[in-house]
Amino acid sequence: MAARRQPPTARLRRLAAELKRLRAASEHTRESVEAKTGINTATLYRIETARVRPQKRTLLALLDLYGVKEPAERDKLADLTRDSTQLDWLQLYEPELPEGYQTYISFEAEASRLQNYESLYVPGLLQTEAYARAVIRGVLPTETDEGVGQRVEVRMRRQGILAKQDPVTLWAVVDEAALRRVVGGVDVMKEQLDHLVTQAKLPTITLQVLPYNAGAHPGMAGSFLVMEFPDEDPALVYAESAGGGLFLESNADVARYRATFQHLVAQALSPAETMRFIKAAADAR
């Protein structure tokens, strides 16, 4: 029996992929696994698609069936099942947050490097509280004050990955439109621009503005984020679309978005030029 549903993480994806590979190598179908272990096909599917983490007895039954005898290999997979899969603080907001957003936060928290292109907003990890509140209120006009407040809290807590002992490396390219739009009023926007200047001084943050005069560019299709993880965990892409956010995991998709990001970097102002641009925009408020 599998554990309860929880947001997938990079380590859970790795475990799922490895168990699926081991099943294929042992020439078992999901149906034959059920016949020999009693683990039903629906549960095995959820395990192999990183929807749930298997309980210890389920994992051991699978490893026995797949012929995994090497203690080091068994220990490595067992370690993956014991790793925490959800941020403790995120559980406080779980009932109120959409499942897709919880998944996004879980992946973001594990990432070692982020490449973010934003066309309409200041990146969430670089937003001030006042700007975040104005954005969330504007995007969700029917949300209650309590709901807006909870989302603002979540956004601020997400920013902890920039200040932890081993902080994530963030490279953000932001369209000029996101900085020209006055969100929350002049004072809120000036505070936000000043905050960007301060954050961009951190050695783990690179910020570039994509100016209007860059013309047409490959980011016009929408915002996206390339997430890279430590160890053996494969990279993935989160892309905005008309129907909502999409997680893309194939090597081809990741390579395409990495290439797109490099094109945007080449068309954007340099980090030094970006600082001068943002300071001038702040001073003009």
Q: What is the pLDDT of residue 84?
A: 45
> Which regions in the chain score pLDDT beneath 50?
1-4, 84-85
Q: What is the pLDDT of residue 4?
A: 43
CA angle at residue 62 from 60 to 66, to 5 degrees?
120
The model's pLDDT over 165-220, given as tens digits with 9 standing for 90+, comes to 999 999 999 999 999 999 999 999 999 999 999 999 999 999 999 999 999 999 99
Is 3.30.870 the CATH classification of the domain at 92-283?
yes
Tokens 């953000």 belong to residue? 172
* Phi and psi at residue 107, to the nearest 5°: -65, -45
Q: What is the pLDDT of residue 86?
A: 54
Q: What is the pLDDT of residue 98?
A: 85
Q: What is the pLDDT of residue 2?
A: 42
Q: What is the pLDDT of residue 96?
A: 81
What does the block give as tokens for 182?
Answer: 């006055």
Q: What is the largest CA-CA distance in the chain?
A: 71
Q: What is the pLDDT of residue 158?
A: 95
Q: What letter does residue 2 receive in the DSSP assignment? A: B
B/e letters for 259-273, b = 16+ CB within 10 Å, e = fewer, are ebbeebbebbbeeee
Beta bridge partners of 174: 118, 209
What does the block give as tokens for 113?
Answer: 């490097």
Instruction: Spell out the domain ranges in the chain.
Output: 10-82, 92-283
Are 80 and 108 spatial neighbours (Cβ–Cβ below 8 Å)?
A: no
- Nearest CA to 80 out of 4, 9, 6, 168 is that of 9
Fold (topology level) of 10-82: 434 Repressor (Amino-terminal Domain) (1.10.260)
| Overall pTM surpassing 0.85 (yes/no) | no
Question: How do beta strands 205-210 and 224-228 pair?
Answer: unpaired
Q: What is the pLDDT of residue 180?
A: 95
Q: What is the pLDDT of residue 3?
A: 43
Are 174 and 123 spatial neighbours (Cβ–Cβ below 8 Å)?
A: yes
